Structure 1
């Protein structure tokens, strides 16, 4: 119902034209960019391109956040080849104590096994890489959301069963429910998935999964996270651009032992993800702004020397490359 209403509220048409910052992920090819980085490098020191709602390719313009490179994890596989190393996975509890992938009420024609299989295959072929995962229980039962299937085990118990069925895929300290993991060096996590955090249906962290640093990462923004996701209209994209810029500057100058996560994404029924990312009605989108800002020299502003993890909708190939260039 929300998506139908949005279709009436926001003029619909073809997606905005692709450019170097937007909807050109298919031309990016960075499958081994971590391979030349020293093992002793902290995960916190890296500049990492990521995707918000990484699997969201179905449901219309209000729910689609990524270019469609195929169901059953095909889209994720293409992102990994392009150089994406941080992913945002949204799961519904389904029958048989399984997870299926959703964006709100919209099923994304994939399940959690697809996600883990694609990650396992990629990391086996590129063993010097690592991928950071944020996992969220997507369904809260409200308007526009999904509802978990009743009678199943808890979200955490189901996740633990997946971890057991994919031995050696996750960096083990990050999937310990009882204690948050310390910040790892790259050498310790090569060939592994690092679980950054698990979020429950209310937005708060589940148990103590993930990195200890993210124990206070709830819904929206926190000390090390910028996730101002409500962009109420196209005019407010300018505010979102400024939030991304300010957090990028804070990351560049901030605590070198901490990971910062900067969500470039945002949406509402009056400003869909493609509008926020690519621009609309003469308003510059976050992606082209971000690419231009990263390219500006010291005569304009202090150079960005570290981006942290930047979570993007519809990333372009040059934007991915510009983030990666901060890794030397």
Structure 2
């Protein structure tokens, strides 16, 4: 058995105080993973990863040892504690202390998902742990309230300095063709569970400002058109109830409609995005305080010339209209706006490995810079690092969105727990700055209530809190 490594990925020092060992009993997976009669059945995203097996402790502890192992903030500590037997015959119970209070967790747990540490007294903190069996590593995150996680962060941080979870083709949770549907949860569920970047595609008509939600040439629902204005009502309701939060929305024109980018831009300005109390439409990356309670417009379409005079002649919306296609790392949007990984063409299922490698490399790039906050000589912001975990092949059922997510999502959870933010552990051996993840754009999160990938992304914002 190997030694257990513990990563304290919180802004709170911890100390391991007690180690107990129990006989373990493997348990079968549970849960209902039905996705409707159109999409295929899979058994949960963690089944393709080495995140901890399901094991429950039996009887009394057969070994108990008091220890004193300090776990500094964002430290990676290899202990002399042997990891649990990998065959599921053992459970190690760990007791931690923080600010005089104690917390407990079993490793591995009775679930493949993350586990909230049990409070042994009235401690004020909440911690969440993910155990990656392949690395014998327990990663501990601060348990953010996913519905309002931005309230913990300072107003003057630029949005590009944050670790932001997003979704690809965000409203595509309806019954649809399996190559079209990309999400398990609806828009409000995504927002309530921490998603703060939406990728939205709309179909435009030359004579009607009603915008139909689409994915490529297809409507997102087989039971009738879904409309942009209805989706916005859900977004506004969330932001009204959570004024500390913001949402970055990428908008692109797709579908079979005959409308143009220029017509779309005028519809958005005149009907949807013109309210400055609801939208941030200046062509610059805002600071969090400016964007709270609003939707930040990131446009993947060209503006009509009539909008060039907006905001003192600077234009309307963050301009990424020259979006790089099928890329591994490309810059878009003028100087310093965005660096994009959006490799999406899957020829064969083995290309999923390439996708995972590209996503890991972009996470490492995003973690390298240090936010220039407080340095008057530095630029106002970092670029957005936009990292799409999504890919698809319409003609290959093994490469439909949910099949790719079943492999990519757990691989990224493991990377965030084992390697991200650790010098020398990234694929290109880059340095580590603030360890931001950038904007990580996902498919099929929330399946069966599983939001662990989102929780791991949000958790990395605790690194910024050390600078506050």
Say yes or no: TM over 0.5: yes
Say if 1:21 and 1:291, in contact at 8 Å, map to a contact too: no
Say if 1:59 and 1:106, in contact at 8 Å, map to a contact too: no
Say if 2:59 is the partner of 1:59: no
Aligned positions, number: 281
- Offset of residue 227 of structure 1: 0.4
- Offset of residue 299 of structure 1: 8.5
- Offset of residue 19 of structure 1: 3.9
Distance 1:63 1:170, change over 3 A: same
- Note the alpha carbon deviations across 1:12-35, whole angstroms, 9 max, x for none: 97322124599x9xxx96110001
Distance 1:99 1:215, change over 3 A: closer
Measure the CA separation in 1 of the matches of 2:47 and 2:301.
29
Say if 2:453 is the partner of 1:319: yes
Which residue of 1 is the match for residue 296 of structure 2?
A: 194
Say if 1:52 and 1:311, in contact at 8 Å, map to a contact too: yes
Distance 1:153 1:322, change over 3 A: closer
Say if 2:39 and 2:177, in contact at 8 Å, map to a contact too: no
SS at match of 1:234: coil
Say if 2:175 is the partner of 1:101: no
Which residue of 2 is the match for residue 144 of structure 1?
A: none
- Note the alpha carbon deviations across 1:26-61, whole angstroms, 9 max, x for none: xx9611000110111111110000000101133221
Which residue of 1 is the match for residue 409 of structure 2?
A: 287
SS at match of 1:34: helix
In the alignment, structure 1 segments of 5+ residues that lack a partner are 1-11, 70-74, 140-146, 174-180, 201-205, 279-284
Out of 148, 155, 168, the residue aligned to residue 264 of structure 2 is 155
Out of 305, 320, 325, the residue aligned to residue 219 of structure 1 is 325
SS at match of 1:136: strand
Which residue of 1 is the match for residue 352 of structure 2?
A: 237
Out of 175, 188, 192, the residue aligned to residue 77 of structure 1 is 188
Which residue of 2 is the match for residue 276 of structure 1?
A: 404
- Offset of residue 164 of structure 1: 5.7
SS at match of 2:410: helix
Say if 2:148 is the partner of 1:32: yes
- Note the alpha carbon deviations across 1:166-192, whole angstroms, 9 max, x for none: 55211131xxxxxxx222110111001
Larger Rg: 2
Which residue of 2 is the match for residue 306 of structure 1?
A: 436
| Higher relative contact order structure (alpha carbons within 8 Å, sequence separation ≥ 6) | 1
| Misfit runs of 4+, over 6 Å | 150-153
Question: TM-score, with normalisation over the residues of structure 1?
Answer: 0.77
Say if 1:263 and 1:311, in contact at 8 Å, map to a contact too: yes
Say if 2:206 is the partner of 1:91: no
Q: Which moved more, 1:236-245 or 1:95-104?
A: 95-104
Choose between structure 1 and 2: higher strand proportion: 2
Distance 1:19 1:158, change over 3 A: same
Distance 1:55 1:262, change over 3 A: same
SS at match of 1:55: coil
Say if 2:392 is the partner of 1:267: yes
Measure the CA separation in 1 of the matches of 2:168 and 2:145.
19
- Note the alpha carbon deviations across 1:97-143, whole angstroms, 9 max, x for none: 2101011343234211012111111111001100000001012xxxx
- Offset of residue 197 of structure 1: 2.1
SS at match of 1:154: helix
Distance 1:215 1:13, change over 3 A: closer
Say if 1:96 and 1:152, in contact at 8 Å, map to a contact too: no
Distance 1:101 1:301, change over 3 A: same
SS at match of 1:220: coil
In the alignment, structure 2 segments of 5+ residues that lack a partner are 1-37, 49-112, 114-143, 309-314, 332-338, 372-381, 427-431, 463-468
Measure the CA separation in 2 of the matches of 1:259 and 1:249.
13
Which residue of 2 is the match for residue 282 of structure 1?
A: none
SS at match of 1:33: helix
